[in-house]
Every structure is written in structure tokens, then in C-alpha cells.
């Protein structure tokens, strides 16, 4: 594991998110209570900027099509807010995929992420 510093604790208030660029890669950083999470910042559904979405507990909602993912492990909660035929067709064209998450470690005031 190779942990890289991506932010400091004072940059993330409770229930807050931000995007950090590390080696040209967009990482979503989130804090819920005393826990920190890191994931790809781009939604695997249609590439929405998750840092501009909504965070409720550990669930992030994409601002584009309201896809939802649990930052604890990246699993899909809702692929989109579409319904009926549109939802069925959408799942055929782009099947649900989890959000890639990363291990996070806090050392003092530093937030470190393993991007491997």
C-alpha cells in the first residue's frame, strides 16, 4: 500500500465532500462523523461530478441522474432515478457498476489515501 496525502482534516467538516486531484486522477473525499472515505469522483453511470452531489451519512448521490453509492464499500444503492422502460433500457445499455473506493488513513491532521 502506498498512501498519499490528499487533504487535511480541517478541509473536510462533518458530512462534507470535496474533490482532490492526485496524479491527474479525481478523488472524492468525504467525511461522515469521525470517518473519512475516498472514491473515484466521477459517477460510473454517466460521469457526473460526485463532489457536487449530496452526501447523507455514507451515501453519495450523483447530481446528474441521482445514482447513489455507499462510500463504505462503493456498492450501488440506486443506479438512476429513471423508472419503467427508460430504467430497463438504461440498465441494458450501461449496466450498474459499483463506485471504486480507496483505503483512507488519518495521521495527525493529514488525510492519506491508497490509490492502488
The CATH number of whichever domain residue 98 belongs to comes to: 2.102.10.10
| Whether pLDDT at 81 is above 80 | no
Confidence category of residue 67, pLDDT binned at 50, 70, 90: very high
Report pLDDT digits (tens) over 20-54: 998 889 999 999 988 999 999 999 988 999 999 99
In the chain, the number of structural domains is 1
Confidence category of residue 1, pLDDT binned at 50, 70, 90: confident
| 70-74: Cβ within 8 A, 24+ apart | 71/28, 71/30, 71/32, 71/37, 71/39, 71/99, 71/101, 72/37, 72/101, 73/98, 73/101, 74/39, 74/98, 74/99, 74/100, 74/101
For residue 40, give its domain range.
3-114
Amino acid at each position: 500500500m502506498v498512501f498519499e496525502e490528499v487533504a487535511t482534516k480541517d478541509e473536510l467538516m462533518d458530512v462534507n465532500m470535496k474533490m482532490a486531484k492526485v496524479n491527474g486522477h479525481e478523488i472524492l473525499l468525504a467525511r461522515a462523523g469521525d470517518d473519512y472515505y475516498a472514491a473515484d469522483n466521477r459517477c460510473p453511470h454517466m460521469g457526473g461530478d460526485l463532489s457536487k452531489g449530496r452526501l447523507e451519512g455514507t451515501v453519495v448521490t450523483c447530481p446528474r441522474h441521482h445514482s447513489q453509492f455507499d462510500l463504505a464499500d462503493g456498492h450501488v444503492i440506486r443506479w438512476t432515478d429513471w423508472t419503467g422502460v427508460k430504467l430497463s433500457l438504461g440498465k441494458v445499455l450501461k449496466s450498474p457498476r459499483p463506485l471504486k473506493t480507496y483505503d483512507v488513513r488519518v495521521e495527525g491532521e493529514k488525510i492519506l489515501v491508497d490509490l492502488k
